[in-house]
Structure formats: C-alpha cells, structure tokens
Chains A and B, each alone.
Chain A
Amino acid sequence: ETGVTQTPRHLVMGMTNKKSLKCEQHLGHNAMYWYKQSAKKPLELMFVYNFKEQTENNSVPSRFSPECPNSSHLFLHLHTLQPEDSALYLCASSQEGVTQETQYFGPGTRLLVL
C-alpha cells in the first residue's frame, strides 16, 4: 500500500545530530498527524495538522519541531534528541469532518538515538 509513505524507515542518530522525518499522503486527506510509539506503550499523539494549520501540540518537547508545507506533506525535524526518544514514529492522515473517519498510517520511522 502506498497511501501514506514515510522516509527514512530506519534512522540512527547521535544526540547532537539534526535530522528530519518525512511523511507524504496520497489519499487527498486534509488532516495529518505524528505519533510516537515506544516499546510496550500505547501510541502517543504528538501533533495534529488540519488544512496545514497545527491544531494540537500534545506537550511535546521543543526538540521535536513539525512542519506542514501543504496538506500532503508533513515533516518532523529532530535536534538534540535524548536516548529515551528512541521509538517508532508514525505518521497518519485522515479526512477531517467525516463522522467515523479513520486514520491511515504510514509504515513508520524506527529511530534510535545513541
């Protein structure tokens, strides 16, 4: 399935590095999300964008910086991360305003911070 794509799929970075995660959705949706999934924990919503506008920041540390240049693309810029930030980062998209709408996930970026 190629509805939501994410790159890179795997990333290893040091605590002083700067990197970016990219997400692209090909579904014509108007809302995009970043989630974090740590081992044995539920998915944690990080950011929500509706029509390119950020509508939710779920108390995420400033070392994570999202960017949504258009309704099809979403980035997560990373800098000075900590080892506890190692996790699976999932992007999702949906059509806002539709009852019982579902979110479609990308394959995720597995991040390891050394």
Chain B
Amino acid sequence: RKEVEQDPGPFNVPEGATVAFNCTYSNSASQSFFWYRQDCRKEPKLLMSVYSSGNEDGRFTAQLNRASQYISLLIRDSKLSDSATYLCVVNKSGGYNKLIFGAGTRLAVHP
C-alpha cells in the first residue's frame, strides 16, 4: 500500500463548481498534514496546512479524519486559476521534516 494515496483525476469541472479531493495515508502515527498546489512545470507551493479541527481559507476547506486516516480538500466556487495538481502531504512518523507526497490530483476548471 502506498504511504499516501490520491485519485490522480483529472477532475474536469466548470467554473463556479464545488469540487472535493480525498487522500488516504497509511501511517497512523503521522502528525502533520498539508495540501500543496503544483502548477504545470512549476514547483509545489503550500496551499494550506490541515489541522485536526479542520480549517478554512477563503474558498478552500481542509478536513482531517484521523480515525479513517484520510484528508480532504474542498474547493468552492472554482476559478479557472484553480487548475493545477493538488498534492496531499503527510509527515513520516517520528520526524517533522520527513514529508511524504502523494502523486497528486489534477484539477481542470473550464469556462
């Protein structure tokens, strides 16, 4: 089983749609969780950290379910500029700086 699993997509949605991505992780001892965004041929950039209580940043909402070991990202009112690959990232147990990246979920928002 992969340490971090994501549906590769692509998710093709119209502008204004709501879209949700899920991610599962295998290590129950993981403590830090993030969503990164990667545009085509660019470096990954932090989108948001994921906290146990869930967190929201504008149109983006992240949730963590420790019991089921999954993380979700909800994007409301999709914009064309949201088109990118979204990477689910989990820290390896015992080390805050050893991050494991999922392969990413590709989102394409169309007019």
Contact = CB atoms under 8 A, between A and B. Distances in A.
Interface of A: 31, 33, 40-43, 45, 48, 50, 56, 90, 94, 96-108, 110
Contacts of B45: 105
A99 B96 contact: yes
B102 A96 contact: no
B49 interface: yes
* 10 cross-chain pairs, A with B, having the tightest CB-CB distances, nearest first: A105-B43, A43-B101, A42-B103, A42-B101, A102-B46, A100-B49, A100-B32, A31-B97, A96-B97, A107-B43
Contact of A48 (B41, B42, B98): B98
A44 to B, nearest CB: 8
Contacts of B103: 40-42
A106 B41 CA distance: 12
A48 B92 CA distance: 13
Contacts of A102: 34, 46, 49
28 contacts: A42-B101, A42-B102, A42-B103, A42-B104, A43-B101, A45-B98, A45-B99, A45-B100, A50-B97, A90-B44, A94-B97, A96-B96, A96-B97, A97-B96, A99-B32, A99-B96, A100-B32, A100-B51, A101-B96, A102-B46, A102-B49, A103-B97, A103-B99, A105-B44, A106-B43, A107-B42, A107-B43, A108-B42
A105 B97 CA distance: 13
B53 to A, nearest CB: 13
A96 B49 CA distance: 16
A81 B73 CA distance: 38
Contact of A43 (B31, B41, B44): B44
Interface in B88-109: 96-104
Interface in B22-38: 31-32, 34
